Amino acid sequence: MMAATSFLSRVRHRYHPFHRLKKNRFVSGQVIPRLDVHLWRRLHGIDWPVRLRLMRHLSYVIDNRTVEPGIAALFEAVCDSAKPDVFWDVGANIGLYSWLVLSRSADAKAVLFEPDPENLTMIRATKARSDIDRAEIVAAAAADKEGSLEFILDQVSGFTGGLDMGQETYVGAHYGIDQRRIQVPALPLDACLVDRPAPDFVKIDVEGAEHLVFAGARRLFSEVRPVVIFECAPENFLALTGQLSELGYDLYSAEAPDTVADGTANILALPKGGRLTPAPLMDAWRARMIAWNG
């Protein structure tokens, strides 16, 4: 069984949506959209079927485990150790981490922030099919202020769409296809504290716009002080990690236990003095990694 799991894992990585198949412009621009039908898949660690698309999420069709097992294991370890009441999923995509948290924490609630219309369709379908009343969907991008912002769609994989930051996108650089731009509503996370329960666990994955999210979340980080797992672009690393350090957070890599955040792309931020302390979390994380790696 372990050998089969290992083989499937290698196949999954080799044929991940960002790899060989989609690098051909004709395939990515003409063939894949015609084959990209909706389907349901039971994903590892999630208690209900998740709505996917065949070609965008081919890696999950080949192997139902995430391509980020270390990070997924960390999410489960946080749930087991801290038992969060409210999880905010900023840049929810298809809702993978919200579904993982809700599956692990029976009493937790999740708020999913997602501006991409296609991803919203899949999130809503998953929620509706399994009647997940503990999940609230916010069809907006988290940013530094309320209003409307330009969003660049990722029509190849659905994973790298994001606010227009004035730089070449991953899809534009690797696939050379024209990308659609749409206007999406935007709002600061601090504004959401007014009419929603404050989160004790937050994930941020917004493809380089995390500095805008942080600018609109000053009260969230300084007063509420949730556990945070976030992806950070190199150009934002020093400013955002410095801000969190000043607010009394300890920073670790979100990819391997006990590893400090030193230029890493994925960061775990633990508030000092919180109910979640590093040592037991790291132990729980290692235990969950064994399960995720088969």
In angstroms, the CA 275 to CA 278 distance is 10
**Contact predicate 139/192, CB 8 Å:** no
In angstroms, the CA 293 to CA 5 distance is 8
Q: CB count, 10 Å around CB of 144?
A: 20
pLDDT at 34: 77
Arithmetic mean of pLDDT, 176-190 = 86
Map residue 165 onto helix, strand or coil. coil
Q: Which of 225, 216, 219 is nearest to 275 (CA)?
A: 225
Arithmetic mean of pLDDT, 81-85 = 95
- Dump pLDDT digits (tens) for 117-147: 999 999 999 999 999 999 999 999 999 999 9
- Dump pLDDT digits (tens) for 189-242: 999 999 999 999 999 999 999 999 999 999 999 999 999 999 999 999 999 999
- Please state which CATH number belongs to domain 67-292: 3.40.50.150
Higher local confidence (pLDDT), 259 or 4: 259
Of 52-56, 78-82, 226-230, 244-248, the poorest mean pLDDT is in 52-56
In angstroms, the CA 76 to CA 81 distance is 9
Arithmetic mean of pLDDT, 139-167 = 82
Q: What is the mean pLDDT of the chain?
A: 87
Q: CB count, 10 Å around CB of 184?
A: 20
pLDDT at 167: 64
In angstroms, the CA 38 to CA 56 distance is 10
pLDDT at 17: 45
pLDDT band at 275 (very low <50, low <70, confident <90, very high): confident
How far CA 291 is from CA of 10, 46, 212, 284, 288, in Å, comes to 17, 14, 35, 11, 5
- Dump pLDDT digits (tens) for 33-45: 778 899 999 999 9
The full set of domain ranges for the chain reads 67-292
pLDDT band at 82 (very low <50, low <70, confident <90, very high): very high
**Contact predicate 68/279, CB 8 Å:** no
pLDDT at 209: 94
CA 1 from centroid of its chain's CA atoms:
29
Residue 87 has pLDDT above 60, yes or no: yes
- Dump pLDDT digits (tens) for 7-34: 344 444 444 444 555 555 555 556 667 7
Residue 170 has pLDDT above 70, yes or no: no
β-bridge mates for residue 181, sequence order: 152
